[in-house]
Amino acid sequence: MKNMKPLSIQPIPYQGSKRSLAPRICQLIPKGIETLYEPFAGSAAITIYAATHGQAERFVIGDSFGVLIDLWEMIIERPTELSERYSEVWHAQLDNPSHFNEVRTAYNTEADPVQLLYLVARCVKNAVRFNKHGHFTQSADKRRTGMKPDKVTRTVHAVSRLLKGRVELYRGDFEACITDALPSDFVYMDPPYQGTSYGPDKRYAAQLERETLIKALHRLDARHVPYVLSYDGRTGDKTYGKPLPSTVDAHLLEIAAGRSSQATLNGSTAETVESLYVSRDLEIFDMGMPQRPQQERLFA
C-alpha cells in the first residue's frame, strides 16, 4: 500500500472527478479533524487522498445516487466479488461488438453497480450522462476497452484496505448526510454545477437547486462547521453559473484546473478555472493566504 501512488488508487474513473485537484484542495483541510464528510461523493477523490495522507480519523461517503453507494459498498466491503464480476463483464466485450449497449440496457433495468462501473470506465471520455428518467445514455468509446480488470483489482483492494472500518456510507440527500457534522469535522462538497444542472446538458442522475445549496451553506455557517465547496467556474471566456451571494460566509478562490475535459471532448484547448468557496471558519488567510475583497485569489 505504501508503494502505491495516492492518485493511482482511483476505482471510479469518471470525467469531473477531483482526482487531479485533490492535493491542492486538501491543503485547506485543517489538522486534527475527526470526520471528513463528502456528501456528493462521486469518485470520492478527496476522501481517498485525505485518507492516504492521514488527514482525518473517520470518513462519510454520501450520494443521492443510490447505485453509486452500492458500488462503494462493494469496493470497500467486497472487493474480490467486485473485481471478479467486473472481469466477467469486461471480457465479454472482446467478442461482442454490441456488448456495451447490452450492458447499458441491462443496467437501466437492473441498476447493477458492477454494470455501472463498466459503463463509466468504457463510455466516451468517461463522460457520464443520464436522461431525465435517470437512465445512463452515454455511448461507448470505440478507441479503447475501458479500465482493465487487473487495474480494477489493484485499485479496489487498495481502497478497501485504506477505508474499511473507517468509513460510513450514506444514501440520500446531502443535508441529511452532514446533519451530524461538528466544528471539529470538515465537509467537502462537489455538487452538480449550475452549468450542468439546467438546460439540455444534464450530466448527473440527480440535480440540485441553487437556493437549496445556499440555505444549506447558511446552516453550516450558523453551526460553524468548516467546509470547502467546488461550484461552477469558467472555461476560456465562458462562465458557468452565478456567484453565490455574500450572505454565504465563505472566501471565494479560483483554482486552475488545466485543460477542460469537456473542451477536449469538443476539440477545444480551453483552460478551466473552478470556483472554490472556502468557509471562513477555516481561517485560511491566517495561514499566509492574502485576503482580497470579493474574489480572493487564484489558488495554485
Name residues whose C-beta falls within 8 Å of residue 227's C-beta, 6 or more positions apart in sequence. Answer: 186, 187, 188, 189, 217, 220, 250, 279, 281
pLDDT tens for residues 218-230?
A: 999 999 999 999 9
Q: Is the pLDDT of residue 38 over 90?
A: yes
CA–CA separation, 225 and 180 (whole Å): 10
Between residues 27 and 232, which one has the greater pLDDT? 27
Q: Is the pLDDT of residue 205 over 70?
A: no
pLDDT tens for residues 85-121?
A: 999 999 999 999 999 999 999 999 999 999 999 999 9
CA–CA separation, 155 and 11 (whole Å): 6
pLDDT tens for residues 249-287?
A: 999 998 887 765 555 555 666 778 888 999 999 876 444
Q: Is the pLDDT of residue 12 over 50?
A: yes
Task: Give the DSSP per-residue string, 213-239.
Answer: HHHHHHHHHHHT--EEEEEEEEETTEE
Cell reading at 18: 477531483
pLDDT value of residue 272: 81
CA–CA separation, 242 and 210 (whole Å): 9
38 phi and psi angles, rounded to 5 deg? -130, 85
CA–CA separation, 283 and 272 (whole Å): 26
pLDDT value of residue 18: 86
In the chain, count H helices and then E strands.
11, 9
Name residues whose C-beta falls within 8 Å of residue 58's C-beta, 6 or more positions apart in sequence. Answer: 34, 35, 36, 166, 167, 168
CA–CA separation, 100 and 102 (whole Å): 5
Are 240 and 254 in contact, with CB atoms under 8 Å apart? no
pLDDT value of residue 290: 40
CA–CA separation, 256 and 198 (whole Å): 24
Place 124 in a pLDDT band, splitting at 50, 70 and 90.
very high
Q: Which domains does the chain have, with CATH numbers?
A: 6-73+153-230 (3.40.50.150)
Are 217 and 248 in contact, with CB atoms under 8 Å apart? yes
pLDDT value of residue 118: 98
pLDDT value of residue 188: 98
